Amino acid sequence: MMNEYENIKKAYYSYNLSQDADLPEKILKYIQDRVNANRQEIEKIVEIYKSGIKVDSILNIISDEMDREPQSIGKTIIDKQGFMFSQVLMPVGIIGVKADDTYEIIKYFVRAIKSKNAIIVVSKKYSEYSLESLILIIIKEALNKYGLDDNLISMVDEKDYKIDWFDRLIYADEENRDNHKFIDLSKTTENASKQYVYVESDAFRLEAEKNKNVEILIGNINEIIDKIKSCKSAVIYTKDSQKAFTFINTVSADNIFVNANLSNAIETIDCEDEMFKYRNLIVPVPKDLIKKAEENENVVTEEITSESTPKEEQAMIEYKESLWQKIKIRFKNLFKF
């Protein structure tokens, strides 16, 4: 069981570190084509189970999810010293979905790809020979085609999972919701109130020690990310842009900073969209891009608290252009490049 969880986690990390911003749409378009190509096989299963499911309805679900975009209300602040604070909608992580309705199950399979979450559907309808399993096979084929780990999406019997696998649990069938659309399980962990500082090397230790009421960590970045799962705040002190990118996109914390003091940490905005969470990010921004950012009407230019911002010579990451392209993908809606 633990190996299964580790595989799901690795699949989630891998997908979120992909550089292709159009990858979800490519995968979903391929799934549409494969569902159409397997129309007769799907209709045979529908006839066997007398379920009344329509192939066109499945295709409509995929189309609707392709068009689905979360509405962000977060703000962005550009510090004149070269830091960006942003309230960003990001994937939740590993989501459990309790569902027994076929259309709902398929919707969440597809929604995982669109939102870049990992999904485990928990259902008493689980069967290797069901329509849901056939659709899941098509989806896993699509993930493999585009070089992704097919452990990203799975379906299990309601007796075959551990609730502590999930960052969030969604009750997808109306009769099972008990007035809760979803429950954030990450807020109930022992890490939920903790703050961590990851130091790339001892050269940053003095800067890191300016953070108060934190645990300072040094070591392998992958081991660190596992340790600080679902915490309140986390900062990485580094000049390695790849480590910074990995940290931002795989750490599950309310506040995720790069080379900025955790005294800047604030409460996150509540998000009604079940597939996303707001996270507060602070990252160094190359100065030649600050002017372009300021031209965006959604960006406010002001200073982040000066005493909380690290010294500029230590703060600025030495970005390679190819790496900065990855950062721009993540913040593509914030800037007009």
**How is the chain split into domains, by residue range?**
2-69+93-186, 76-92+187-330
Residue 135 to residue 38: CA distance in whole angstroms: 10
CA 67 to chain centre: 18
* pLDDT for position 289: 66
* pLDDT for position 159: 83
* pLDDT for position 277: 95
pLDDT along the chain (337 residues), means of 10: 84 94 96 96 94 96 94 81 88 95 95 97 88 96 97 91 90 64 86 93 85 93 90 94 92 94 94 94 78 60 48 49 55 46
Taking each helix axis from N to C end, the angle separating 102-115 and 55-67, rounded to the nearest 10 degrees, works out to 30
Q: Which of 119, 85, 127, 118 is nearest to 290 (CA)?
A: 85
* pLDDT for position 284: 87
Q: Are 265 and 281 in contact (CB under 8 A)?
A: no
At 221 the three-state DSSP class reads helix
CA 75 to chain centre: 19
* pLDDT for position 313: 44
Q: Following DSSP, what letter does each residue of 164-208 receive, concatenated?
A: GG-SEEEE-SGGG-TT-SEEEGGGGSTTTT-EEEEESSGGGHHHH
What CATH class has 2-69+93-186?
Answer: alpha beta
Q: Following DSSP, what letter does each residue of 49-83 receive, concatenated?
A: HT----HHHHHHHHHHHHH--------EEE-TTSE
